[in-house]
Structure formats: structure tokens, C-alpha cells
Amino acid sequence: MKLKRITLAFENCDVADIPAEYVTYMLISGVTTTQIYTGAGDVESMLECNDCEIHILKEAAELKLEFDCFEEFEDMNLGKRLMYRDIVGVDLDYGNRIDSYCVNWADGNEFVNENMSVADEGNEIRISIG
């Protein structure tokens, strides 16, 4: 399978698309499937992962993003947005299908995921969750 893009979903419902050419490494592990009854007889499946590691080229930090929820995010790029440490989900877009994962969120803080870190590693940015 060939990855087309990774989409990061943030706590306030904003999303950031990262084209595959910026992704240098990705690992999603400890995947489980949860079945959720949503009412009216509907059941949805949700993939959850214990660990998620994504490395992107530093140039991706300068990607201009569209954020709709709050004015403070209007002129924000990806690098600044990652510092909020509030990714709740990761979508892997392969062109013909999308796999969506909820990430491991630490209890105790509803705005910052204590399980998430962002590190500057030379020519890459390393995003670790879990």
C-alpha cells in the first residue's frame, strides 16, 4: 500500500493534512477494535492504538493550515499547532481507503495529552503518542 497523506485530528476538532512526501517514518501499534452502540440499532467500529510514532520533515512544520474553531489558530502553521500536544486521532489515507485511529489519551487533562511529545530531531520532527 502506498500512503497518500496523514491527517491529524486535534482536541478542538481541527485537522491537519500532511502529504506523504513529508512523512519519513510512521508506526502505529497496540491496535484494538472497539464496538460502539450509537443508538437506533447502529453499531460502529473504532480502531484505537496504544502507541503512535510519526516522523515528518522539518519543512512540514511550515505548512500553512486552515483551522476553523478559534481565532487564535487562524495564522498557525503545523509546527506551532503541534506544541499544544492535543492530537486525538490519526487517519492514514491510502487513496482507495482511509484507516482512522483514536490515540491513547492520558487521564487528568482534557486539553493536553500527557502521553504526547513532540521533539526536534535535526531535520525531522518526531511526534510520539503513547
**Measured distance CA(12)–CA(129) in Å, rounded:** 17
pLDDT higher than threshold 80 for residue 71: no
Q: What is the pTM of this model?
A: 0.88
Q: Per-residue confidence at 69, pLDDT binned at 50, 70, 90?
A: low
Q: What is the bridge-based pairing of β-strands 87-93 and 42-57? A: unpaired
**Measured distance CA(42)–CA(124) in Å, rounded:** 42
Average pLDDT of the chain is 90
User: Into how many domains does the chain fold?
Assistant: 1
Element (H, E) at 44: strand 42-57
Q: What is the model's pLDDT at position 77?
A: 85
Pairwise pLDDT comparison (73 vs 89), residue with the higher score: 89
Q: Per-residue confidence at 63, pLDDT binned at 50, 70, 90?
A: confident
Instruction: Return the SS3 of 53.
Output: strand
Model confidence pLDDT, tens digit, residues 78-116: 998 899 999 999 999 999 999 999 999 998 898 999 999
Place of cell 467500529: 45
Q: What is the model's pLDDT at position 101?
A: 96
Q: Which domain holds residue 34?
A: 5-129
Model confidence pLDDT, tens digit, residues 8-48: 999 887 888 999 999 999 999 999 998 888 888 888 888 99
Q: What is the model's pLDDT at position 73?
A: 66
